[in-house]
Amino acid sequence: MNAEEMIGREDLIINRDGLGQLVRDWLAKDKPLAAPKRIKDDLVQYALCTDFDEIMLDGFVHPDNSIKTFLFPRHEKLYHYETDELGRITLEDSNFGEFSQLLLGVRPCDAAIVPILNHVFNWDLKDSFYNRRAEGTVIIALGCTTCDANCFCTSVGGAPDGVAGADALLFPTSDPSVFAVKVVSEKGAHLLAKYCAIGTAAPKAAAEVPVRFDMDTVHDWLKENFESPFWEEESLSCVGCGACSYTCPTCHCFDIMDEKNGLGAGWRVRNWDYCQGRQFTLHASGHNPRATQGARQRQRLTHKFWAYRDRFGTVLCTGCGNCIRRCPVGLGVLPFAKKICELAKKS
Amino acid sequence: MKNREEVVEKLRASAREMLSNKTVDVVIGWGCVTPEQTVATPVFVKSPDDVELLDWNEKCYGNLAAYMTRKEVRALGRVALMVKGCDEKALVVLRRESQIDPSNPPRVIGIACDEDGLGCAKCGTCDVHVPRFADIVISGVTPVPENVPVPAEKRYERLSEFMKQPRENRLAFWMKEFDRCIRCYACRQVCPLCYCERCIAERNKPQAIDSSATPRGNWSWGITRAFHLAGRCIGCGECTRVCPAEIDLSLLNLSLANAAERSFEGFRPGMDPDREGAVGAYSRGDSEEFIR
């Protein structure tokens, strides 16, 4: 089948064997492939896989991390520096070789980060580190037939069978060995052409994710309540860690550090940063414009639902629910958004 | 949970009383949970009219002693704190380490656990199901049961099993565990004894520990944290519960506890309020020659 013809068709299927072949062929080229994988009894993560059997295509709601780590890694070396005996400094860029990876079994709320993050990484400077990875990545998403109480994609414009950011979407059917396929991009078509077939299979019902809050209400309330006592009150229980930000698919703050490797040499690196910590926005003078936990929670919520949206036209949240699942004390975007909507209703 | 409703009623009544007669300005306790919630969110109750927010249920995992050293919480005034028997050990260490103002100590509302506790791994070897020093102890059972000692072999069973493996396997295990660390510091933030104003992991002049989530950075962080908690960790297991990468920090903590108990005449952090800490206190009985 010609690749262009595949895009948008409603009658494509792939069976498990075809998918297994696709995975083996990809791995045979020695290119990285990441997919949901069971790491421990209670832990499923998107992780590098070396065998089709490791890949989980059902039996989980959302992995405990996000695909962000494969597009914007937790640690990236930007360049190497070295000083010789005369004090002359040599800089060497990180190696920008060919880059190609496959992300398979990606939840729609993870795939959706690509169009969202593309904005911020191409807004003033073109971030070559991010772009190189995003361009070299093929995302085969996997639609959801189940959800939990923390899922809220439908409240932020997503859907359990959404295709945003994906190159193709697989959806489970009544036959466990067959997936319905929706090809979205040329990248997806080229990858799948050899393994897909025309056929019919009844897709299972998509997960019914209720709309849990109104994001316009949240946006408007945030804009008008920057100094509300709500923030300090509701943030007392926040312990100030980065579990929400680091398991969030869209949080993208980073810190630039020098990491020494012997005397006068080392790497300039960038590492993930998180807004709930005491060091976030701490100035060299000692002043911190986000000095309290309340101010930091407000920062997180306003960035996601007001600032990002007003600047780029999209909220910085895909409703994956990881911030709630992984919060040590049961906070996260959803409880905050719900409370904000209650307050907005009262006023 | 035995007579849960009765326990909840009693704890709300004591909170109401303390807030009404102004003995305290805030009661810190666990909140109610919906069936979907995996943990009870801590609540800060400032008015006797709000005590219904307080609860006791199977998801009251948090060690609320961690809030005692926080700036925002100190600013609230006089505190009443709800603790389980295990959490209470943290208060003992905090007091020893002068982290609790003796002129303004918290009022402590202790809640006794049932025999199986909250069903966590730590609960199986717990010998402080009933808080020992709290101002009030609320129990679902009358009379309040006695704590039952647990022999060391049982408390360290998991560690002994692990130590049977050859050194290389143990090293490989920890390399794999720490490789997943993303440096979110949830372990540190929930720890009642990680109260440093500025953690060494955040110092960058000079940088002692790479902030990078690399094998070098994660190894430095994991080991430094362990060393700093040696002889201090009370084994509440909160760090392990909250780790988004499910790193088995409890096993490492067990090793610290074991070292303290073996090397310092049966010392167990938080057990005896009259005993000096294992580290930070000089004793002529210390085995190290160089210190004399």
pLDDT exceeds 80 at position A321: yes
Does A271 reach chain B within 8 Å, measured CB to CB? yes
DSSP secondary structure letters along B229-280: HTTT-----HHHHH-TT---HHHHHHHHHHHHHHHTTT--TTT-TTSPPSSS
What is the ipTM metric for this complex?
0.95
Q: Return mean pLDDT, chain B.
A: 94
- Establish how many alpha carbons lie within 13 A of residue B155's alpha carbon, considering only the half-sphere containing its beta carbon: 18
Residue A262 confidence (pLDDT):
84
H/E run at residue A346? helix A333-346
Decide if B186 and A277 are in contact by the 8 Å CB cutoff.
no
DSSP character for A305? I
* Interior angle at CA B8, CA B5 and CA B10, nearest 5: 110
Neighbours of B226 (CB within 10 A): 15
Please check whether residue A236 touches B, CB under 8 A: yes
The closest alpha carbon to A273, from A303, A307, A229, belongs to A303
DSSP letter at A75 equals: E
- Among B96, B74, B93, B88, smallest CA distance to B26 is for B74
- CB atoms B217 and A75 under 8 Å: yes
Query: Among A141, A147, A136, A148, which residue's Cα sits nearest to residue A113?
Result: A141
Determine the residue type at B272.
D
Q: Is the pLDDT of residue A200 over 90?
A: no
What CA–CA distance (Å, rounded) separates A245 from A152?
17
B38 contact residues in A (CB cutoff 8 A)? 325, 330
Contacts of A258 in chain B (CB under 8 A): 207
Q: Mean pLDDT, to the nearest integer, of A197-203? A: 91
Task: Specify the amino acid at residue A184.
Answer: V
- Put simply, whether B287 touches A (Cβ < 8 Å) is no
Asked if pLDDT for residue B286 goes beyond 80, the answer is no
Q: Which chain B residues in 232-251 lie under 8 Å from chain A, judged by CB atoms?
A: 238, 241-242, 244-246
Give the closest-approach CA distance of B285 to chain A in angstroms.
39
Contact B212 A239 (CB under 8 A): no
Tokens found for residue B75:
């600013």
Tell me what pLDDT residue B291 has. 63
Answer yes or no: are the C-beta atoms of A169 and A182 closer than 8 Å.
Answer: yes
Distance separating alpha carbons of residues B5 and B2, to the nearest angstrom = 9
B175-221 pLDDT, tens digit per residue, is 999 999 999 999 999 999 999 988 999 888 788 899 999 999 999 99
Residue B124 reports pLDDT greater than 90:
yes
Nearest CA in chain A to B211: A271
d(CA A246, CA B244): 9
Q: What is the pLDDT of residue B289?
A: 73
Is B66 touching A (CB cutoff 8 A)? yes
**Which pair of structure tokens corresponds to residue A12?**
């494509």
What would the mean pLDDT of A85-109 be, rounded to a whole number? 92
Number of Cβ atoms within 10 Å of the Cβ of B106: 25
The bridge status of strand A75-83 relative to strand A265-272 is antiparallel
Distance CA(A274)–CA(A268), nearest Å, equals: 19
Q: What is the largest distance, in Å, between two alpha-carbon atoms of chain B? A: 61
The alpha-carbon gap from A244 to the nearest alpha carbon of chain B, in Å, equals 9
Residues B149-160 have pLDDT tens digits of: 999 999 999 999
Residues 300-339 of chain A whose Cβ lies under 8 A from any Cβ of chain B: 325-331, 335
Whole-number percent of chain B with pLDDT over 70: 99
Q: How close are the terminal C-alpha atoms of chain B, in Å?
A: 52
Position B274 confidence tier, pLDDT thresholds 50, 70, 90:
very high
- Helix ranges (DSSP H) in B97-248: 152-155, 157-163, 167-179, 186-190, 215-229, 238-242
Domain boundaries, given as residue ranges, for chain B: 4-138, 152-280
CA-wise closest residue to A108 among A134, A139, A142, A138:
A142
Mean pLDDT, residues A27-54 taken together: 97
Q: pLDDT at position A5, please?
A: 87
Confidence (pLDDT) at A249: 98
The lowest-confidence range among A1-15, A68-82, A269-283, B169-183 is: A1-15
What pLDDT score was predicted for residue B13? 98
Assess B41–A contact: CB distance below 8 Å, yes or no.
Answer: yes
Asked whether residue A234 carries a pLDDT value surpassing 90, the answer given is yes
Residues 6 or more apart in contact with residue B82 via CB below 8 angstroms: B11, B27, B28, B29, B30, B54, B64, B109, B110, B111
Q: Chain B contacts of A150, Cβ < 8 Å? A: 36
Q: Is A43 helix (H, G, I), strand (E, B) or coil?
A: strand
User: In the prediction, which pLDDT does B292 show?
Assistant: 59
Closest chain B C-alpha to A36 CA, distance in angstroms: 14
